[in-house]
Every structure is written in structure tokens, then in C-alpha cells.
Chains A and B, each alone.
Chain A
Amino acid sequence: MFDETIINMLIEGTWATLYMTLVSTLFGYIVGLPLGIVLTITDKEGIKPNAVVYKILDFIVNLTRSIPFLILLILVMPLTKLIVGKSYGSTATIVPLTIAAAPFIGRMVESSLKEVDKGVIEAAQSMGAGTFSVIRKVLLAEARTSLLVGVTIAVGTILGYSAMAGAVGGGGLGDIAIRYGYHRYETDIMIVTIVILVVLVQILQGLGMMLSKKLDRRHT
């Protein structure tokens, strides 16, 4: 159906999409996980309430989350250029992807950690556990299944964002879909990229859910 160049391009595009998605998710968590933890513990119901810290972080998260990704992508181009050296291609796309993902991940981490039963946290405190022990041994340990479900959602969302970056030469499958499907009316190539994207999301989703089920000890 397609010649070799097209097939190679699709394979490369798939790798580029995976590369952008996974690296951005990783960076997103490097920022988002601590962010979510701080949001959780500094909340007025948290173990180290601090209204000032909470409000500042809460504001930043809301602010970043309300900028549409496509606009953020363009907005941070100077920064991208500064970090990566160019503003197009898949490596460059990681910068805006991470900036968009971190606050979103922070929120998800926060909501996962807040699901942890307050009584269990108090039990740990009553045993003399300090803030760091409570975070590591109780919050993160008890919320791990929910956190993993969060990772799955994050990967799916970031994958979607990465495709959007194709509009401004971001590389990957989204880029191919827009260049061939939109600019050149080669609908068949666009459909193939969509199929690959769907399959990717399904695989990642399935992996995440499987892992999170495996780690869940609360139910039979």
C-alpha cells in the first residue's frame, strides 16, 4: 500500500511520539510529584498546613493549566530554543510538553494522595512518624495504585498533546498526520497514524492498569 519511505517515516514517527511522550512524562513527574506532595501536605487539612505555600502553588498550577497547550507551545518557544537550541522537532517539543504536564501531574498526584485515609496518617503520626516518613511510608505507599492510574492518564494526555505539537513542526505521528493528511490531502496516511496512536494509547493504558491492579492489596 505504501512505499518504503512512507513506512520508514511512520516507524520513525512512532518512535518520536513515544520518545516525546515518555521523556516528557518522566520530566513531568520529576516536577509534578514533589509539587503534588507539597500541595497535599500544605493544604489546610494536610500534615503541614501552610496557607501561603499552598495558595502560591495552587495559583501557579491553575494558571498554567488554563493556557491551551497549542498556545503554550508557541509561548515558550524562546525558552525551548534556549534549552534545546531549536524550536522544532521532537526534542524541542519535550520542553512545552513538560511545562504543560507538570502542573497537571501535580494535580493528579495531589488528588491521589488526598484519597489516603486520614486515620491511617494519624496512626502513623501517633507512632512518632515524622513528615518525611508519613510521606514516604504512608502517603506514597498507600496511594500507589491511584498514582499509577494517574501515570496512565498522564501518558495518554501527554501523547495527545505531543500530536498537537505537530501543528508547529513538533515531530512524531501528529506532525505526519498534519503534514500528509491536512496539507497534502493524503487521508490514508493520516488514518494510519491515527490507528497507530490509538494502538499506542491502548497498550500504555493496558500496561498501567495491569501494574496498578497488581500492586493493589486492599481488595481481593
Chain B
Amino acid sequence: MAEQQVILEARNITKDYGGGRVLDGVSLQVHKGEVIVLIGPSGCGKSTFLRCMNGLEQIQSGQILLDGEVITEGKTDWTKVRQKIGMVFQSYELFPHMSVIDNLVLGPVKVQGRDKKEVTKEAEKLLERVGLLDKKDAFPRQLSGGQKQRVAIVRALILKPEILLFDEVTAALDPEMVREVLDVILELAADGYTMLIVTHEMQFAKAVADKIVFIDGGKVVESGIPEKFFTQPETDRARRFLNTFIYAKGGEKA
């Protein structure tokens, strides 16, 4: 992995929000083909970090680089940058007035100017892959949460981004739907997609991640390979965080 080129990089970024510091000097490199999972307690800044990476939030200091070029200074063409950074949201954010297929085709046709016929074919292929081809003419309201999220993943994929950002994509789902979405992401990881994932699903994080980054209080507290992080975390803070996921009879602390 070390030889691979860096796709997305954060250099010491800070972000203030409502008078408080949400991100306090976070640095991170995502290499091509790498899957990094950000974990941490609620409000630790991991989602904000993700939103900073494609310019949905502005940072106060530091730099963000895409393919070695700084995108947080000077005149950045965000429409170009964002096509290379796909994002999937917690609450799907499908366009409610458009059918599934229109949701998928809109970006490639309107933003990238690709041929509608060709994109439609590709969209159908991708829908088939996530098991939703029969839903192509359905409207978002007719889909379950898990189905919506799978469509949203396809919508991000079809723009052929260099990296995909996942912002707690299963947090709004019923437990049995979590699996169907996570399976899709696991498949993407197996296909070599570069991904930066924020999640609360520890088992999934363990399975999908090449690297775990633990964030707390707007800082990277610890990072490492999942095998090590989940069994022998280096910091006390990470250990305490992981312990909150362990249950013992009678409510004893494990």
C-alpha cells in the first residue's frame, strides 16, 4: 500500500463551528485502493471531517489535496473536484420527484455531459449489481431505506469518482437493512475502490477497513490496522470507546 499514490489528503485542517473547534489539526492520507474507516464518539468531528473533504464545509486552516493539488486555496473548480469525490449520505438524499433511473442519470448527463443512452445502460447494469434493476422506474418514496441507500451508492458510483465518502450510511436504517447496504460496500472494497467511511458499525469497520482512524475531540487520537486497533488499542481513550460496545450480564463493565 505504501507505494500507491495518495488520492486525498488532509494536512492539519481545523474547522470552527458555532464558536467551538470541531476539527483541531487533523491530517490524513488516503491512498489509491485504500479503505479507511473513521470511528469515534458522536460529535467527535468525523462527519464534519468528511464534509470538509469535498467542500461542503469550509475549513479555517490547513490544506486539502486531491491528486496532489491543493483544493482549499485559490480558485478551485468545485464542480470538477466533486465529480472526483463521490459522497453517500446518512439520509440518502435521493431526489424525491425523480424516478430511480432519473436520479442516477441526472449527474452524468447534466454535470458530465455524457450520452444519456449510454449512461442509462450503465445505470441499469449497476442497479442489477445491487439487486434493484426492477426498481428503476420506482420513485424514492416507494423504496425501503436500504433500497434507497443502495440507489444512492449507485448514484455516487456512476460518476466514476476516484474516491467515495460514506457518511454514516447505515445510521438511519433498520438493522436488517444495514446488512444489505454494508454488503454492497464490502463488494466495492473487494473491487479495489478507494473509500473513506464514517460508521458506528464496529464489526463492519473491522471487516472492510485497511486502516482505522479513531477521532475524538476533533483530533486523530489513534490510527492503525483494524486487527491491532480492535484487540490492542494503544490509547486509553480508544480502549474506553471500544468498551462501550461490549455488553456483559448484569451491566458489569467488561
Contact = CB atoms under 8 A, between A and B. Distances in A.
Pair from one complex: yes
Interface of A: 117, 119-120, 122-130, 133, 137-138, 141-142, 144, 217-220
Contacts of B54: 126
A218 B142 CA distance: 9
A124 to B, nearest CB: 8
Contacts of B91: 119
Contacts of A123: 87, 89, 93-95, 152, 155
A129 B159 CA distance: 12
Most buried by B among A133, A217, A218: A217
Nearest to A143: B97
A137 B89 CA distance: 19
A210 to B, nearest CB: 18
Interface stretch (B11-19, B39-47, B78-86, B215-223): B78-86
Interface residues of B, number: 30
Contacts of A219: 141
Given A122-B56, A137-B106, A117 B82 contact: no
B20 interface: no
Contacts, number: 79
B96 A128 contact: no
Contacts of B190: none
Q: DSSP class of A's interface residues: helix, strand, loop or mixed?
A: helix
A143 to B, nearest CB: 9
13 contacts: A122-B93, A123-B152, A123-B155, A126-B87, A127-B107, A127-B159, A128-B107, A128-B159, A129-B107, A130-B79, A141-B98, A217-B96, A217-B141
A117 B91 CA distance: 11
Nearest to A216: B97
B143 interface: no
Nearest to B165: A126
Given A127-B107, A128-B80, A122 B89 contact: yes
B110 interface: yes
B139 A217 contact: yes
A122 B85 CA distance: 13
Contacts of A144: 97
Interface string B47-70: 000000010100000000000000
A209 to B, nearest CB: 18
B111 interface: yes
